[in-house]
Amino acid sequence: MRLRDAKHSDVVIEADKGSYVGYQGVRYMFNCDDFLVHQPYPSVEITECNTYYATLISGAFAGPGSETTAITQYTAHNFFTFVQPQITEAYQCIISVELLHLNLLGNLIRDLGLPPKFLTYETHQYWNGSYPVYAYELRPILLADIEGEHAAIAHYTRLIQQIAQPQIQDLFRRIILDEQKHVEILEYFLGNR
């Protein structure tokens, strides 16, 4: 085990048996440093409940184009990326980032006054397994995931316009940077297969 400075989140620390601790203390099975945006996520201080905002955010948490859908879609696709180990590694790292987004949104929904559930409060529709795009070959997988990332960027952009709270807007802008990084990674793999 190699430890340089565990308090500084930009240092990748080699841990036991190929596991890595990366940006903001997230533990990865792979070294995910090349797949991350190295900027902190802004903190959001909620001073009063706003269930309208929580309702809007719930679509990004568990709607058809949500973080839940992204995690599930990347996981399903990762079963078919073994033909290119670098893509398998990238997908594991991307899944970890999407899970971080899910946690950030869940905490935000809770702090705004609603319990985080795997549903969209606007429609009262629970998340279901028909939301992910299921693809089984590398090119359709990459195309579907690029499309999903573009949809997520558009969704967060709409939320920034709908939610007039600067700290929440800043958080969504930071999440967009991750989604843009994912597009860059996926397009690289698409162009180099």
CATH of residue 187: 1.20.1260.10
Same domain, 65 and 96: yes
Residue at token pair 């995931």:
145
Same domain, 81 and 102: yes
Closest Cα partner for 68 from 152, 178, 169, 147?
A: 152
Cβ proximity of 73 and 145 under 8 Å:
yes
Q: Domain limits at 156?
A: 42-191
Residue 137 lies in a domain: yes
pTM of the predicted structure, to 2 decimals: 0.84
Residue 36 lies in a domain: no
Residue 61 lies in a domain: yes
Residue 159 lies in a domain: yes
pLDDT in tens, the chain (193 residues): 232 333 333 333 233 334 444 444 544 456 788 888 999 999 999 999 999 999 999 999 999 999 999 999 999 999 999 889 999 999 999 999 999 999 999 999 999 999 999 999 999 999 999 999 999 999 999 999 999 999 999 999 999 999 999 999 999 999 999 999 999 999 999 998 6
Same domain, 108 and 64: yes
